[in-house]
Structure 1
């Protein structure tokens, strides 16, 4: 999808950081933009800024961890514009840095409610309606490079949620009809308010620079949408370690196709 003129774009977590930078870019491409987040004051500020730039922008207060809230966001979007062409599942939280052995079900649950079920709620609330439109559409899930590798200790809940987001995106890509593209975006450190930390607004890649890198990938309909070069090195390291393990302990052998789960899945569904 290379032309976003008059397309309707809904962005969760759209008042600040990556979400706001994406709203700016879609707006600059003459899209109509709806941003959603929990903090109405920040939404008002963001919409005013977008409108001052000539963007047709609206907002809706929404807690993506609540399915009814997310369905209300979808109802609002269709009531305002009669269609949704792009959904950006961007809302997310960092959680509390903590050692795995000292963590709790509650701390994991909060991260999963937003990062995993927030993404799922967006898919559930918008997906079938976007399919039914029958026109080219796009669902972009903003995950994290932490969905590709674990950067360090004390981030178990966040990393687990981002690996889950990647898996959900992979499955969604397999299940969606051709006219609905799916993209998984893997940002590294980007200046934002993630985690509610002022430090996070000062370190990492500027959000506009990040958008400049991922934008051609969005236009080209890429599934894996990447930005931070060092992520490749860590993915390659993990892949090499896994490959070595398979080569050493589970190499191919005659007749091994009967244990190929991907091949078996194809037989079962078709």
Structure 2
């Protein structure tokens, strides 16, 4: 997908972090962007800042874990712009419970509801429209390098499922001769506020499991603050769409870890972990 001028993009989790980085990159490429987020105040402030810079953007408040919210997002997009050419299923949350069996059922419902079912809802609401348009189009699903590695617990499970779902949709689109294409974004540490995502945790999922013993939230925040800039991730996504490249890997320092896991699988070895980069 090379001609992006005036094309319409929809981004969930767009008010901050990677979502905002994508929005900035898309706006600079001449696209019209629908910004969606569950955090109303930040959504409106981000929208206003982009408009002040001359961007053609539209804001829609939505909780992607609710199918009806994503259906309304699609309706608002089409009523505003008449088409959709890019969908970035980017909204994601993190619950740091460890070990896995101490995660509550509310933890599972919240994380899977946003990280996996939020993408399913996006695919269900938007992909048939993109196919029916019979134009170039692209979907980007934000997973994580955790979805390609061992040891991610609840978060990693949601992202692993997302990688598999994206791979399957790619094969279905290509095999069916449909024009839309799809990518899966698997970043490492990015300078976002995902560690503070509990501020948006719904009251219906109030029963939260414990954070890992000895885990320092301050140290984790410092590590994320040293991560890749969200705009750099947005630029990488833009380039991958132009190249119709499926896997978007933003952190080459994890290549050894991916090779390690693949080798273990092929050899039938039991899982082991390598030290994290920079540890």
Corresponding residue for 2:133?
Answer: 133
Cα deviation code 1:21-55 (max 9, x no counterpart): 10000000110000100111111111111112211
Which one has a bigger Cα radius of gyration?
1
Q: Distance in 1 between matches of 2:15 and 2:168?
A: 28
1:16-55 pair list within 5 angstroms: 16-55=16-55
Greater RCO, CA 8 A, separation 6+: 2
Corresponding residue for 1:187?
Answer: 187
User: Quick check: 2:21–2:232 contact (8 Å CA) kept in 1?
Assistant: no
Corresponding residue for 1:234?
Answer: 257
TM-score, scaled relative to structure 2:
0.83
1:214–1:76 distance in 2 versus 1, CA, 3 Å: closer
User: Quick check: 2:97–2:103 contact (8 Å CA) kept in 1?
Assistant: no
2:230 to 207, 225, 247: 207
Q: Any idea what SS the aligned residue of 1:141 has?
A: strand
Corresponding residue for 1:254?
Answer: none
Corresponding residue for 1:168?
Answer: 165
Q: Any idea what SS the aligned residue of 2:4 has?
A: coil
Corresponding residue for 2:155?
Answer: 158
Q: Which structure 1 segments of 5+ residues have no match? A: 247-270
Cα deviation code 1:103-156 (max 9, x no counterpart): 222211211000000010000011111111111111110110111003x4xx41
The count of residues paired between Structure 1 and Structure 2 equals 243
TM-score, scaled relative to structure 1:
0.86
Q: Show structure 1 runs of 4+ deviating over 6 A.
A: none
Cα deviation code 1:145-169 (max 9, x no counterpart): 111003x4xx411010000101110
Further displaced range: 209-218 or 12-21 = 209-218
Q: Distance in 1 between matches of 2:233 and 2:128?
A: 30
1:104-119 pair list within 5 angstroms: 104-119=104-119
User: Quick check: 1:10–1:87 contact (8 Å CA) kept in 2?
Assistant: yes
Q: Distance in 2 between matches of 1:245 and 1:196?
A: 38
Q: Which structure 2 segments of 5+ residues have no match? A: 198-217, 270-279
User: Quick check: 1:115–1:162 contact (8 Å CA) kept in 2?
Assistant: yes
Q: Distance in 2 between matches of 1:216 and 1:129?
A: 24
Corresponding residue for 1:72?
Answer: 72
Corresponding residue for 2:11?
Answer: 11
